[in-house]
Structure 1
Amino acid sequence: MPTILDTDIGSDYDDQMALTYILANPTIFDLKLIVCSTFNTTARAQITAKTLAIFGRFDVPIGIGQNTGTRDIFEYEWAQNYTLDQFQKDGGIIYENGEDALLNEIQKANLDNIYNVIEISPSTSLGHVLQHLNPELLKYIRLFVMAGSVYYGYDNSSQPSKEYNIYTDIPSAQRVFNSSWAYFGLAPLDTTIFMQFYGSLWEKFYSYRNQNKYVQLIIDSYTIWYNNGGKHYGALKPFSPQNGTSIMYDVLAVFLAASYPSVSTMINQKLPLIVTSDGFTKINSTFGKPVNVSVAFQTKDPYISTQFIGVTVLESIIMSP
């Protein structure tokens, strides 16, 4: 499936795992473009470039989104020795105007060329592009998003939260939710909060670190992210590079895209959702557009399902050619 990824890689670690999962599965994802969005987007592009270089994927262009300010990018140290100039010398393509690149790529979608757009960043770039895109094209695009909070919030709170990818750019999120996509699959906090890989599953993955360059990529970049401040991020279960991951919010959105049209691990509800002016995602039967929301897991213990997802994700990285 032709696929576009919009990411804010480098701040939280889940983007790196999501990108590596995509690259490890080229028979599922025909990756056409990666857009790096929000804050220091050039630093994010450099992390992306090093990841693509390790996979030898110089055919995948990187679009640099608008720089929206300064924010800690804990993973950047891992990529600082591989510049964007070097990526281009090695055969890679950089688009300085990532929003133009995103617009041009989306416009290739048609009835015989359905696209996946995977949105795992605040939707600044996509929101801006929607202002210039013929809305008729959206019926040829399946959208998979990590964002929002419907019934449960951060820390598995029984009250919905203002989720980061939404409240960072509320107007852009509203444009995304107000649009009529061919399919809109949403991975909200309700389920993503449980997305940690640990125990024997992680021990097996970790054991490959000195013999598999893709596992080494994950362990090295994760360790730098963790030591530079990621260890202070909240999670329901303790984590470290030796014993398990931080919360892999974004990986669930990629898993939904890989598993479309059926995800046996999830309980989905088609809900009319809106983004409110203060950054909440709420059910509104009058104004909401239909969204396929992964609100819960099939298993009573959500970690049984997330470990199953972890097997799929981590083994595909280990087995990647």
Structure 2
Amino acid sequence: MEQQVVRLCFSVLILAKTLISSPVPTILDTDIGTDYDDQMALSFILSNPDGFDLKLVVCSTFNTTARAQIVAKTLAIYGRYNVPIAIGRNTGVSTMGEYEWAQNYTLEQFKNEGGTVYENGEDALYNELQKATPDNIYHLIEISPETSVGDVLQRLKPEITKNIRLFAMAGSIYRGYGNSSQPSKEYNVYIDIPAAKAMFNASWAYFGLAPLDTTIFLQFNGPVWQQFLSYRNKNKHVQLILDSYTTWYNNGGKGAGALQPFSPDIGTSTMYDVLAAILSLYYPKTITMISRQLPLVVTDDGYTRINATQGQPVQSAVSFQSENPYNSTSMLAVVALYSIIFS
């Protein structure tokens, strides 16, 4: 059985890699540290340099300097001092269970080792997005409340956004938290509704959405997770995930809502944000998912609604090709976890 799992993992990973064309200039906007899916998404991006030419990591909302420390330690373990960190606007204090893992790695240490940290994250994001042209299309992966992007969109010219493909974990269209048959106010939207409105109203070259409809099913567990665990103490990138995940779990993460049980020994919490990174990597393919172009708006009370007259077109991953969503998410787990193992 174990050998069959390994063969399946390699087959899926090889097939997925054939869909990657060449590295695309990419910016990640993250609220890493609060939920664990941001760390998995960042590690997945760093593990796929053939697809992501990572230009900037922006840390958004609440204690953004603490978030930057988590990013800095992750980049250092990957040896990616060439990726600058941008510290977004501090919007207050929030629980950040993963921070203990990175608290002894300072931003000064990151800079002394060759890294770059921008204290004004919005300016850094604005300056990097300005480099997007029709011949140099950028990908913006948005896995945070849209505060930084909303600030930048106030001064970014529309002709620039038309050179940017946006991939966002945001919103809830048909299904909500807990696999509810009713949509929910999704966290990344309702934390900063005006900024979310600005993002949904902008004219992007392409807008690929990973809403709750599909992301609620993304937990990495079963034989694939056990294979991942077998690389404990053998692979520094696997160890990064296991150490930071365990810290997050023990510091309150175990109380996070999820459809299936989770712990460091049996699998992950819900990996909402990883889907946005996967959509970016395999664009224009939407592997394992059914995607529909929908005219979406953000309402004043923080819902994501279909509005045929006011909504901008958003390519939304609303369901899976398999009737059992966990069959599809198992394949996505292979893509994500085996990328990290073999990076």
TM tier relative to shorter chain = over 0.9
User: What letter is aligned with 1:83?
Assistant: T
Within the alignment, does 1:208 sit opposite 2:208 as a pair? no
Q: State how far apart, in whole Å, the 2-side matches of 1:81 and 1:231 are.
A: 23
SS at the partner of 1:34? strand
Q: State how far apart, in whole Å, the 2-side matches of 1:237 and 1:125 are.
A: 32
The match for 2:214 among 157, 170, 191 is: 191
1:238 aligned partner = 261
Q: State how far apart, in whole Å, the 1-side matches of 2:123 and 2:155 are.
A: 10
User: What letter is aligned with 2:127?
Assistant: N
Q: State how far apart, in whole Å, the 1-side matches of 2:52 and 2:78 are.
A: 14
After superposition, residues 168-179 of structure 1 pair within 5 angstroms as 168-179=191-202
User: What letter is aligned with 2:155?
Assistant: H
Q: Which moved further from structure 2: 243-252 or 262-271?
A: 262-271
Within the alignment, does 1:29 sit opposite 2:49 as a pair? no
CA displacement at 1:262 relative to structure 2: 1.0
The match for 1:100 among 96, 105, 123 is: 123
SS at the partner of 2:162? helix
1:222 aligned partner = 245
2:15 aligned partner = none
2:278 aligned partner = 255
1:112 aligned partner = 135
Q: State how far apart, in whole Å, the 2-side matches of 1:209 and 1:318 are.
A: 10
Q: State how far apart, in whole Å, the 2-side matches of 1:202 and 1:131 are.
A: 43
SS at the partner of 1:53? helix
CA displacement at 1:118 relative to structure 2: 0.1
CA displacement at 1:127 relative to structure 2: 0.5
Q: State how far apart, in whole Å, the 1-side matches of 2:321 and 2:290 are.
A: 6
Within the alignment, does 1:47 sit opposite 2:70 as a pair? yes
Within the alignment, does 1:308 sit opposite 2:331 as a pair? yes
User: What letter is aligned with 1:124?
Assistant: T
User: What letter is aligned with 1:173?
Assistant: A
Q: State how far apart, in whole Å, the 1-side matches of 2:209 and 2:286 are.
A: 12
SS at the partner of 1:185? strand
SS at the partner of 1:2? strand
User: What letter is aligned with 1:57?
Assistant: R
CA displacement at 1:247 relative to structure 2: 0.1
The match for 2:174 among 129, 141, 151 is: 151
User: CA deviation digits over 1:32-67, x for unaligned, max 9?
Assistant: 000000000000000000000000000000000000
The match for 2:187 among 164, 174, 181 is: 164
Q: State how far apart, in whole Å, the 1-side matches of 2:329 and 2:259 are.
A: 13
Unaligned segments of structure 1, at least 5 residues:
none
Moved over 3 A (4+): none
1:77 aligned partner = 100
Q: State how far apart, in whole Å, the 1-side matches of 2:76 and 2:181 are.
A: 43
Within the alignment, does 1:317 sit opposite 2:340 as a pair? yes
User: CA deviation digits over 1:169-227, x for unaligned, max 9?
Assistant: 00000000001100000000000000001011000001101100000000000000000
User: What letter is aligned with 1:12?
Assistant: D
2:308 aligned partner = 285
Unaligned segments of structure 2, at least 5 residues:
1-23
Q: State how far apart, in whole Å, the 2-side matches of 1:292 and 1:5 are.
A: 19
CA displacement at 1:264 relative to structure 2: 3.1
2:8 aligned partner = none
Q: State how far apart, in whole Å, the 2-side matches of 1:151 and 1:217 are.
A: 35
| Length, aligned pairs only | 320
TM-score normalised by L of structure 2 = 0.93
Q: State how far apart, in whole Å, the 2-side matches of 1:26 and 1:117 are.
A: 16
2:30 aligned partner = 7
Q: Which moved further from structure 2: 92-101 or 258-267?
A: 258-267
The match for 2:298 among 266, 271, 275 is: 275
2:109 aligned partner = 86
CA displacement at 1:86 relative to structure 2: 0.3
Q: RMSD of aligned C-alpha atoms?
A: 0.4
User: CA deviation digits over 1:98-153, x for unaligned, max 9?
Assistant: 00000000000001110000000000000100000011111110000000000000
User: CA deviation digits over 1:241-291, x for unaligned, max 9?
Assistant: 010000000000000001100123110110000000000000000100000
Q: State how far apart, in whole Å, the 2-side matches of 1:310 and 1:61 are.
A: 28
SS at the partner of 2:100? helix
User: What letter is aligned with 2:235?
Assistant: N
Percent of aligned positions that are identical:
68
Q: State how far apart, in whole Å, the 1-side matches of 2:83 and 2:111 are.
A: 11
